[in-house]
Amino acid sequence: MQEILDKLGIGSVVPGGFCGEWLGGGEKLDSVSPIDGKTIASVTQVTVDDYDRIAARAQEAFLKWRTMPAPARGETVRCLGNALRDVKSELGALVTWEMGKIRAEGEGEVQEMIDICDFAVGLSRQLYGLTMPSERPGHRMYEQWHPLGVVGVISAFNFPVAVWSWNVALAAVCGDASVWKPSSTTPLTAIACTKIAEKVCRETGADPAIFSLVVGRGSTVGERLINDRRLPLVSATGSCQMGYRVGAAVGERLGRTILELGGNNAIVITAEADLKMAVRATLFGAVGTAGQRCTSTRRIIIHKSVRDAFVDQLVSAYKQVRIGNPMESDTVMGPLIDTGAVDTMMKAIERIRAEGGEVLYGGEKLSGDRHTGGCYVTPCIAAAKNEYKIVQEETFAPILYIIPYATLDEAIALHNGVPQGLSSAIFTRNLLEAEQFLTCAGSDCGIANVNIGTSGAEIGGAFGGEKETGGGRESGSDAWKAYMRRQTNTINYTTELPLAQGIKFGD
């Protein structure tokens, strides 16, 4: 790991603030690996004064960056994508070491960053407005999109680098600067990404402050960020509780938010499903990233006629999951992010039993030579009812609830009967069932799939959900519009001055 840290520019103690220069006059923060409980490196956090300096520099950088032609902005993002290609293995390894996801997922997250940079480069030549007919003769009416300002990005530990790129790659080609506040449990990956972006900006002539960074306490720096009127947009990924706070603070100053919050994602498995496919999708959806994805599969809503056969196959698959050091190539599931997450999972299992549920497999703490650090568990499968309070909540851990149903209408009602609305799926070989699930009376989630699982969204489609998931959209499709301001323009190319709606005013 030392060679990797050296290549990424991470020393034993590194500053946690950046705005073209590195700052950090606050308390020291240790980044502890969930793999073995050891400190990787330490970060000097930013103070509120540091934050204000960084935000001011980001605003200054924005005022220059917005005037650069969008394709030229795209060139900087293109170079960022290429720089990420050069360190994909090293940055992916750091993601694994600091967050705990397996190597394949760590490198896959960096690949997402590369992909969104490629997407944004193309977008830099496609920031289209519309032309519409005017009701007034001799007038032309159209709309155009202008850069918005400095975008605040708050990311969570589970995707410590990809979420940043989803936002800043689009924001950058749209002409915006950004200030990134990463999770305090994964600061080193954020510093590594910022160092990569800094080098790219210096090589392309862009102001490095367009990719600014603040590692600091949520109670001080985080509060300053969400209440900062210099940031017209805050994109925040995290829990529903966090989203309520961010939404209220930003909304109070009439700012914009992109909120990517909790998921309580379900797969509906019908009597006509391919059970082998459904088991594979469930295994990845529920066990991948140790159940710490916002798109992780939390609930299986399954037809009574195939419930027992599916559970038997799923338990058999769970027993084959190799749990351990995620740096090892044959590991399928690594640790939870910290011992607090393990405690939360154990308390959730206690609540399952207290509410009348039954643990069918797993749900145990692991220890020993292969499970040092106290963050390893066996993934849990539990029989439950949708109305249990614990089922209605998102437990950020590998707990999967099995819920039977009799009719598809009942299954859809169960599926939609939770406060969250991020990702969903149905497994069926019946076209009528699949189409019903995708109608306006079907899944109420922002993502709805047929014969693939809830996890593993592609960057080409806008990502996000409804209800308590926050309603935000990031990444592909037309999500770029959130990072710009729309302006409607009317041009009169005559010597007359007619009014709209046929209004006559004076002679």
Residues with catalytic roles: 260, 294
Pairing of strands 297-303, 233-237: unpaired
What the block records as the tokens of 53 is: 């300096």
Q: CA 156, 158, 161, 165 torsion: positive or negative? A: negative
**Rg (the chain; Cα; Å):** 24
SS3 state of residue 67: coil
- Tell me how far the alpha carbon of residue 446 is from its chain's centroid: 13
DSSP element (H, E) containing 463: strand 462-463
Among residues 446, 445, 442, which one has the least CA distance to residue 428?
442
CB 425 within 8 A of CB 449: yes
- Residue 142 burial (C-beta neighbours within 10 Å; 0-12, 13-18, 19+): middle
Longest dimension (CA), the chain: 91
Alpha helices in 103-161 (DSSP H): 103-123
Distances (CA, A) of 83 to 76, 78, 89, 94, 107: 10, 9, 12, 16, 14
Beta-carbon count within 10 A of 128 CB: 10
Helix (H) or strand (E) holding 326: none
424 CB-near residues (< 8 Å, 6+ apart): 265, 266, 267, 268, 415, 437, 443, 445, 447, 448, 449, 454
Nearest alpha-carbon partner for 258 in 116, 471, 447, 465:
471
Query: From residue 30, how far is each of 42, 46, 304, 322, 422 by CA, in Å?
Result: 4, 14, 49, 29, 33
Pull the structure tokens for residue 115: 């992909």
Contact 476, 466 (CB under 8 A): no
Q: Is 118 exposed, middle or buried (0-12, 13-18, 19+ CB in 10 A)?
A: middle
Beta strands in 165-277 (DSSP E): 177-181, 211-214, 233-237, 256-260, 265-269
Q: Residue 157: CA atoms inside 13 Å, Cβ hemisphere, count? A: 23
